[in-house]
Amino acid sequence: MSRARWLGRELGPPLVGIVGAIVLWAILAATTSIPSPATVWTAFLDGMRDGTLPDAAAKTLIRLAFSFVVAVVIGTALGLALALNEFARRAVRPLVVALQITPFVAWVPLAVIWFGTTERAVVFVTIVGSFPAMTLATLQAVRQVPPVYERTGRTLGARGWPLYRKVILPAALPGVMAGLQQAWGFAWKALMAGELIVAAAHAGLGHLLDPREGVAIPTVFAALAVILVIGVAVDYLLFGQLDRRIRRRRGLVVGA
Amino acid sequence: MAETVATLEHPPAGPARPKLAVRDLVVTRRTASGEVITATDRLSFEVAAGEFVCLLGPSGSGKTLLLNVLAGLEVPTSGEALVDGRPITGPAPDRAVLFQEPSLFPWLSVRGNVEVALEFVGVPAPERRDRAQRWLANVHLERWADAQPHELSAGMRQRAALARALAADPDVLLGDEPFGALDAQARELLQQELQRVWAESDSRKTFLFVTHNVREAALLADRVLVMSAAPGRLLEEFRIHAPRPRSLDDVLVGRVVSEIHDLLMREVDASVAREMAR
C-alpha cells in the first residue's frame, strides 16, 4: 500500500470527526453565547505567545505523568494480587469498586483538609481517581484468560510464579492495555478536578478552566482544547499503537 | 445403579507394572443447573508402558473427564488413578496433554511455544533453541519457527502443539480428541505423523488418546477401549495386531472398524432405550 493511501486510511476517519465537530461548534457559536472557533484560536495563540498555556500545560503534564505512573503501578499490582487470592479478592474488590464510583470531586475537599492546598493534594486526587480502573481491569483481564492456556501451562510443568509470569500475565495483556487506556482518561479527569479546585496557587491547565478566577471564556475553551488534544494524542499514539501491535502479533486484528 | 452392560476381560497381567492405571474410578461432575452427573462409573483399566491405547465412546461417556483425571487437572470422586503405581496428585511434565482446542500461546512464536515448555522443565537457556528447532523439524515445521501461531493452519498448529508436548520428553502423551476440529486431510496427515513420532521415539512413549472416531482409533492404537454411554464404563476392548503404518484398506483394520462400529451403534441404541424407559 502506498504511503499516501495508508495515511488516508489511518487519518481519514479521525479528521472527518474533528472537522465535523468544529463545524458543529461554529454553528452553535453563531446561535448562542459560546465563543466561536476563531475567537478561541486567537485566545490560544495569545496564550501561547504570553506563555500561560505552555506553562500550565507543562505543570499539568508533570503532575499527570507522575500520578499516572504511580496509579498504574499500584493498580496493576493490586489487581494481580486480587486475581491470585480469592479471599483477598472477595474482601477488597467491593472497596475498589466503591473507590471507582466515588466522584473525583468528592476527594478534593478531603485532600485539601489532609494535605492543604498543595501539590500533594492534587496528586492524591489523581491517583485515587485512576488506580481503581487499573485494578479492576487487571483483575478482569486475568480472570478472562481462556482456561486452556492455564491448563496447558500446568500440564507442561509450570506452577506458581513461572505460570503467572509466562502464561497468565501475557495472556491477560490485551485486557491490561484496556485498563491503561481507561486509567489514562480517569487520571485526566481527576487531575482537572483537582487543579480546578485546589491549585489556585499552582497554575495548571485545570486552573485555566475556571472563569471565576478571572480567566476569559475564550481562554477556558483554548485550555480545554489543549487538554483534549494532549489526551487524545497520547491515547492514540501511545496506548492505541501499543494495543494494535499486541493484537496484531496475536492475530486479533482482522485484515491488518 | 445401572445393571452391568457387559463384562470386561481384564488384560493379561503384564510382566511390568502398568504405566497408567485407573481402578474403580468414579468421576462426577456438576452441570450448570447444579445436577450431579456420574461421568464414569467404577472404571478400571491399565495401560502398559510404550502402549498406544485409544479410548472410544459415545459423547457424554466421560472420556474427557477421565483424561483430565490422568492429566492431574481433575480430582476423581472415588477410586484411584495411578502413574507408575503412584497416585496422581496434579499435573506434571511426565504426562503431556494435547487438547482439542487451539492451545498454542498466541503471544509467542511457534518456536517460543516449544522453548517455553523446555524452560518450564528447567532446560538451560542456551540449549532450548536447538532442541525446539529439532522438534519443529521433526513435525516438518522448521520453516515456520518464527511465525506466530495465528499464521498457521489448524493442522500445522496441532503439529506445533505436538512438538511442544513432546519436547520436554514426557513418558506419557494424553490426547483429548486432538484432531477433532481438523478437516479430513489435516487429520489424516497428523495421524500419520503421530504414528511415526510414536514409533520413532527412542524409549517408546505411552500414548492414551480419547476419540470418538472409530477409524482413527483402529489406525492408531494397539488396543481400543470402548466405553459405554454415560455413566461411562468399559464395554469391550479390542487388540489390533495389524502392522504399521496402517491403512484403512487393510482387511484386519477394516474388520475391527466395523466390529467396533456395530458395538457402538448397539450401545447408543441401548442407551436411548434406557433413557426412554426412565
Q: How far is B176 from chain A (nearest CA, A)?
A: 12
Mean pLDDT of the region A188-192: 87
Give the pLDDT band of residue A254 (cuts 50, 70, 90): low
d(CA A145, CA A138) in angstroms, rounded, equals: 11
Q: Which residues of chain B lie closer than 8 angstroms to A157, CB-CB?
A: 91-93, 117, 120-121, 168
Torsion of CA B240, B245, B248, B252, to 10 degrees: -30
Torsion of CA A60, A66, A71, A72, to 10 degrees: 110
A217: pLDDT strictly greater than 90: no
Q: Where are the alpha helices (DSSP H) in chain A?
A: 3-31, 37-50, 52-84, 86-101, 104-115, 119-143, 147-155, 160-163, 169-197, 217-234, 241-249
Cα-Cα-Cα-Cα dihedral sign, residues A23, A25, A29, A35: negative
Q: Using DSSP, state whether B54 is helix, strand or coil.
A: strand
Q: Which residues of chain B lie closer than 8 angstroms to A145, CB-CB?
A: none
d(CA B266, CA B257) in angstroms, rounded, equals: 14
Mean of pLDDT over chain A = 85
d(CA A138, CA A182) in angstroms, rounded, equals: 11
Residue that the C-alpha cell 471564556 belongs to: A217
Q: Using DSSP, state whether A206 is helix, strand or coil.
A: coil
- Match domain A54-216 to its CATH number in 1.10.3720.10, 2.60.370.10, 1.20.1560.10, 1.25.10.10: 1.10.3720.10
ipTM: 0.85
Q: What's the residue count for chain A?
A: 256
Question: Could you read off the pLDDT of A28-86 as tens digits, one per residue?
Answer: 888 888 888 888 898 888 888 888 888 888 888 888 999 999 999 999 999 998 988 88
Contacts of B159 (CB under 8 A, 6+ apart): B139, B140, B141, B190, B193
CB contact under 8 A, A155 and B95: yes
Question: Which range among A208-212, B3-7, B255-259 shows the weakest confidence by mean pLDDT?
Answer: B3-7
Listed by start position, the domains of chain A span 54-216
Mean of pLDDT over chain B = 85
CB contact under 8 A, B168 and A157: yes
Q: What's the residue count for chain B?
A: 278
Q: How far is A178 from chain B (nearest CA, A)?
A: 17
B4: pLDDT strictly greater than 60: no
Q: How far is B207 from chain A (nearest CA, A)?
A: 15
Best A152, A164, A169, A248 residue to mutate vs chain B (most B CBs within 10 Å): A152
CB contact under 8 A, A148 and B101: yes
d(CA A154, CA A199) in angstroms, rounded, equals: 52
d(CA A68, CA A66) in angstroms, rounded, equals: 6
Residue that the C-alpha cell 488384560 belongs to: B11
Q: How far is B116 from chain A (nearest CA, A)?
A: 8
Contacts of A199 (CB under 8 A, 6+ apart): A117, A122, A206, A207
What letter does residue A208 receive in the DSSP assignment? Answer: G
When CB atoms are compared, the residue of A151, A157, A170 closest to B120 is A157
Write the class of the CATH domain B16-88+212-278.
Answer: alpha beta
Question: Could you read off the pLDDT of B254-268 as tens digits, one per residue?
Answer: 888 899 888 888 888
In a 10 Å sphere around its CB, with 0-12 CB exposed, 13-18 middle and 19+ buried, how is residue B13 labelled?
Answer: exposed
Q: Are B192 and B37 in contact (CB under 8 A)?
A: no
Angle, CA A37 vertex, CA A35 and CA A40 arms, to 5°: 65
What letter does residue A95 receive in the DSSP assignment? Answer: H
Q: Are B104 and B161 in contact (CB under 8 A)?
A: yes
Question: Could you read off the pLDDT of B130-173 as tens digits, one per residue?
Answer: 999 999 998 889 999 999 999 999 889 999 999 999 898 899 99
Cα distances (angstroms) measured from residue B266 to each of A159, B57, B80, B218, B278:
44, 12, 30, 18, 18
Give the pLDDT band of residue A200 (cuts 50, 70, 90): low
CB contact under 8 A, A151 and B150: no
